[in-house]
Amino acid sequence: MAFPAVFQTTCFFMLLSLRACQSEVLTEHLPLTPEALKVFVNSTQQSLHLQWTVHNLPYKGELKMVFQIQISRTETSNIIWKGNYSTTVKWNEILHWSWESELPLECATHFVRIKSVVDDAKVPQPNIWSSWSSWQEAKVQDSFEQDTLFIFPKDKLVEEGSDVTICYISGNIQNNISCYLDGEQIHGEQLDPHVSTFKLKNVPFVRERGTNIYCVDHRRNTINGGTVLFVSKVLEEPKNFSCETQDLKTLSCTWDPGVDTTLAWSKQRSQSYYTLFESFSGKKKLCKEKNWCNWPISQDSQAMYNFTLTAENYLRKRSVNLLFNLTDRVHPMSPLSVKFENISATNAVMTWKVRPTGDYLTLLCEIELYGERKMTQHNVSVKVNGKYLLSELEPDTEYAARVRCAANHFWKWSEWSGQNFTTLQAAPLEALDVWRSVKSGPGTQNVTFFWKLPPKFHANGKILHYTVIVENLDKPSRLEALTIPAPANGTELTLDQSSYEIRVTASNSVGTSPASVMVISADPGDKEVKAERIKGSKDGFFISWKPQSGDFMGYVVDWCDHPQDTLCDFQWKNIGPNTTSTVISSDAFRPGVRYNFRIYGLSTERIAYLLEKKTGYTQELAPLDNPQVDTINLTSHSFTLSWKNYSTESQPAFIEGYYVYLKSKARRCHPGAEKEVLSEITDTTVCCQYKINNPGQKTFTVENLQPESFYEFFVTPYTSVGEGPNSTFTRVRTPDEYSYMLIRIILPVILCIFLLLVACNLKSQWVKEKCYPDIPDPYKSSVLSLIKSKENPHRTIMNISDCIPDAIEVVNKPEGTKTQSLGTRKSLTETESTKPVYLYLLPTEKNYAGPGPCICFENFTYNQAASDSGSCGHPVPVPLGALPSQLGLLTSPENLLQAPGKNCMNSQGEIPTGETTLNYVSQLAAPVSGDKDSLPTNPLMPPPCSEYKMQMAVPFCLVSPPLTENSGLSSMTLLGPGDH
């Protein structure tokens, strides 16, 4: 135990002696002064490169030292930078250090000196600084020639946002020099009479070809010098650095390089370079592309990789690291051969293939199925071939299916591979949504039946046609079926006043949909419902109604999307039985259009009952036009305005009333009117405004006007959002007050005179017809048909010489008869009741055997009593001497006295045959039809006298005695010889 203790003590004293000796040696050589200081200038990088040595290092060892460096500009006393540089100094080592100047080194002379101190734990404290080295001068060039000017630095490259100092050096002392940066003047400070400096802060990126800097000599007005400042974008750190493999043979690394720092001038090394380094293998690769690079996977089963991506350009260097396991970076390739098998209306089988990925055979595949209404996802694990059953599909629907796969150690999905397919058709699934519009007429019902085209997921195929079946519920009859081809959405039916059930179905190539039923009642019970105003918005209309107590299965609201068009685009909406409000919205709704809504209750029997009506606008607008106004009832003190043809239904808002604007030279407003100045009226004429609060009133009377005055007016409607546009005034003039009164008097007088003249004219016609009838034309007399002449069968007029009278019938009316005298126009009344008297005339023929038949003629103008006798009866012979006394002529006595003076009668019993001129022949109503010249077959057999008109023939030679009061003559017929 004594030996180890002695050995430790001996070693301890030896170390102490060695330490003491070393301290003495170091103390002798301190302080250590830098020597052989040299300064080198790099104009391109605007830097000073220093080089020096430290001699007398003891025992050729190493010491940590600190060097303090001072840099002066233009003179040694102007120190612009001072700093320390720490390093480990080896024996006889040459040290280097660089300093970058913000001022171009060409613009000023720089001076550098250095001193040092030992900063090592081996050296005891305190440390002492060495003395300064001598100043070393750094100068680019000595002088410049006269009339020269240079700008520095030349074609400098900096990053965006940097601070740059430039200067110009002139061979002369210049005071009239201005410098410009890209056309904008810059200001600086003068460093000495020949040098001026400019500091540019936060320089921007202007263009890839650089920014021009130049100086102008105003004395000579010339550009003496210039340079280009290249400003590049700041090099960014690569983003989204990632590496992956698809075949376990090659790694593909990608990244986002960020902003491109490359400039247009190729001499400036502004472009970026990217290097990929893997630390585990120690391999390095210079990438040719800026955003991707491939790395071969080694076959030595290397699982971990550690990459460093470095981005570098002339000004900056950036780098990022990435560490990963190869099995976690497998990105499979997209699947192959996607197909569909066993496609039906609701199912399909999807198959595909995957590419092998080494030992990792099991892949997770995801399937996405896109239909017309939704998207579904399915997951399945596969090795080489994939297969999946797609179920619950919709018939007659095109689907887009795609698949992608990923490794079990999920990194990324593969690219999608897909294909489209269409399922088969099926029968329509649901009944149609139907509605109706009924217009009742006299004994008919015009029904427009609508249905909405079924959505594709309900149609299950292309709809070919619709079937409408109409059944009369009141009168059992054969069902009427209508087939309407698609794509029709309605039909019109004309029904009688019975109840009908209408069923509609839709059919495709596979089958028919369930029937939709609607009942049209003979008595719908619709009551007169007044429309209630509602206010809409850009989102639509909120409509509510009162709940109904009856048994309703729901409600229906119908309306027109385009009410102003002929085809209004009829729409409806079904609402459940427990809901009493809804929101009606449509893309077709427009501001300024009135929409009308009807709310129906739908009973369990499928009968619709009108409950309420609503009307409103999504947004009310001011009226766009004014009514066309007519002026009526114009008087000297008033006139009436009428605009009854103005439709309020088609206006862009609810009409609340009208404004009537009236202006005149008086500029005074009567009670009931307010003064108003219209803004568009340039002459600022004061108008009188009358307000009509009733929108249904379309007439207005302006009163209290002055006669013979001009007034101007126009009428405009107003709504809750404003009134109609200012219109052109219509001018009207009130008439003279007295002229109007004269017109009111003269017009009735003229009217009365006109009516009186019309009445008189009518009365004169009546008097003429009663007292002075028109004389019949003898050439048209039908009595000629009774005359038979062998000598002249075509005779057109009868002569008295051709007429041989057989008898004279004197008919006395049993009651008073009025006979009118043609001359005096006085009525003669027969009051005495007598019997008919028959008088036979002696025939001229000697062979006359006896009395002939009676021929009766009737003329109601002269005697209406003849019609009272039913027939002539048998004539009674009378003496010939009684003829003159019994003849009562119905002609005027004055006409009879005007006969010739000679006595045409030889005696009372003779009638002269030579004087046969006929004075009057009345028209005979022909007893037979045919031509007037045709004679009857048997003229001697006349028909009953009731079928003839009584006629009178009077020769001028015949003079009748005056009629007496008791003469019962009512008619007389005188026949010529030879005629019956």
Q: What is the mean pLDDT of residues 894-901?
A: 39
Is the pLDDT at 484 greater than 60? The verdict is yes
E strands present in 146-272: 149-152, 157-159, 164-170, 177-181, 184-186, 189-192, 195-200, 211-217, 222-232, 239-244, 250-256
Confidence of residue 980 (pLDDT cuts 50, 70, 90): very low
Can you give the residue ranges of every domain in the chain? 34-138, 149-232, 239-328, 336-422, 434-617, 629-738
Confidence of residue 615 (pLDDT cuts 50, 70, 90): very high
What separation, in Å, do the N-terminal and C-terminal C-alpha atoms of the chain show? 211
The per-type count for the chain, helices as H runs and strands as E runs, is 5, 57
User: What is the pLDDT, as a whole number, of residue 571?
Assistant: 93
Q: Quickly state the pLDDT bin for 784 (edges 50, 70, 90).
A: low
Convert the pLDDT of each residue in 72-95 to its tens digit: 998 899 999 999 999 998 888 899
Instruction: Please report the pLDDT score of residue 127 as a whole number.
Output: 78
Residues 866-881 have a mean pLDDT of 41
How high is the mean pLDDT of the chain? 77
Distance CA 198, CA 188 (A): 4
Under DSSP, the state recorded for 862 is T
C-alpha 39/C-alpha 47 separation (Å) is 10
pLDDT score of 16 more than 60:
no
pLDDT number for residue 119 = 85
Q: How much is the pLDDT for 259?
A: 86
pLDDT at 30: 56
What is the reported pLDDT for 937? 42
Selection from 49-63, 606-620, 760-774, 793-807 with the highest mean pLDDT: 606-620
pLDDT at residue 550, rounded to an integer: 77
CATH 1.10.510.10 is the classification of domain 34-138: no
According to DSSP, the residues that pair with 687 across neighbouring strands are 676
pLDDT digits (tens, 9 = 90+) for 486-502: 999 999 999 988 899 99
Q: What is the pLDDT of residue 621?
A: 92
**Please, are residues 898 and 849 in contact by the beta-carbon 8 Å criterion?**
no
User: Residue range 757-770: average pLDDT?
Assistant: 79
Which span out of 603-617, 843-857, 941-955 was modeled with the highest average pLDDT? 603-617
Return the CATH number of 149-232, one of 3.40.50.9100, 3.40.50.970, 3.10.300.10, 2.60.40.10: 2.60.40.10
| pLDDT given for residue 890 in this prediction | 38
User: Could you report the per-residue pLDDT of 565-599, keeping only the tens digit for each?
Assistant: 888 889 999 999 999 999 999 999 999 999 999 99
**Per-residue confidence (pLDDT) for residue 508, from 0 to 100:** 93
Residue with the bigger pLDDT between 897 and 774: it is 774
| Residue whose pair of structure tokens reads 């999504």 in the numeric block | 618
pLDDT at 622 over 80: yes
CATH topology of domain 434-617: Immunoglobulin-like (2.60.40)
Among residues of the chain, what percentage have pLDDT more than 70?
72
Q: Model confidence at 377, in pLDDT bands (50, 70, 90)? A: very high
Query: In the prediction, which pLDDT does 174 show?
Result: 65
The CATH label, of 3.30.2320.20, 3.40.50.720, 2.60.40.10, 1.20.120.1690, for the domain at 336-422 is 2.60.40.10
Range in 535-544, 776-785, 867-876 the model is least confident about: 867-876
The superfamily (CATH) of domain 239-328 is Immunoglobulins (2.60.40.10)
Q: What is the pLDDT of residue 436?
A: 92
pLDDT at residue 143, rounded to an integer: 65
Quickly state the pLDDT bin for 796 (edges 50, 70, 90). low
Q: Under a CB-based contact definition with an 8 Å cutoff, are residues 813 and 970 in contact? A: yes
In the prediction, which pLDDT does 536 show? 92
Entry pTM: 0.48
Instruction: Give tens-digit pLDDT for 630-686.
Output: 999 888 888 999 999 888 888 899 999 999 999 888 777 888 888 887 765 455 667
- Is the preceding peptide bond at 652 cis, omega within 30 degrees of 0? no
pLDDT in the model for residue 144 = 67
Report which of 168, 167, 169 is spatially closest to residue 199, judged by C-alpha positions: 167
CATH class of domain segment(s) 629-738: mainly beta
pLDDT of 128 higher than 60 = yes
The yes-or-no answer to whether 149-232 and 434-617 have a common fold is yes
270: exposed, middle or buried (Cβ count in 10 Å: 0-12, 13-18, 19+): buried
User: In the prediction, which pLDDT does 277 show?
Assistant: 94
pLDDT tens-digit series, residues 421-462 = 999 999 998 999 999 999 888 888 899 999 998 888 888 899
Over residues 150-177, the mean pLDDT reads 83
Distance, CA of 328 to CA of 410 (rounded, Å): 7
Quote the pLDDT of residue 156.
Answer: 85
Nearest to 700 by CA among 717, 720, 683: 717
Query: Helices marked H in 384-479 — which ranges?
Result: 456-459
DSSP, res 960: P
pLDDT at 159 over 80: yes
Q: Average the pLDDT over 289-296 and give the result.
A: 92
pLDDT digits (tens, 9 = 90+) for 395-408: 999 999 999 998 87
Nearest to 953 by CA among 752, 768, 787, 709: 787
Gap between the Cα atoms of 133 and 54, Å rounded: 12
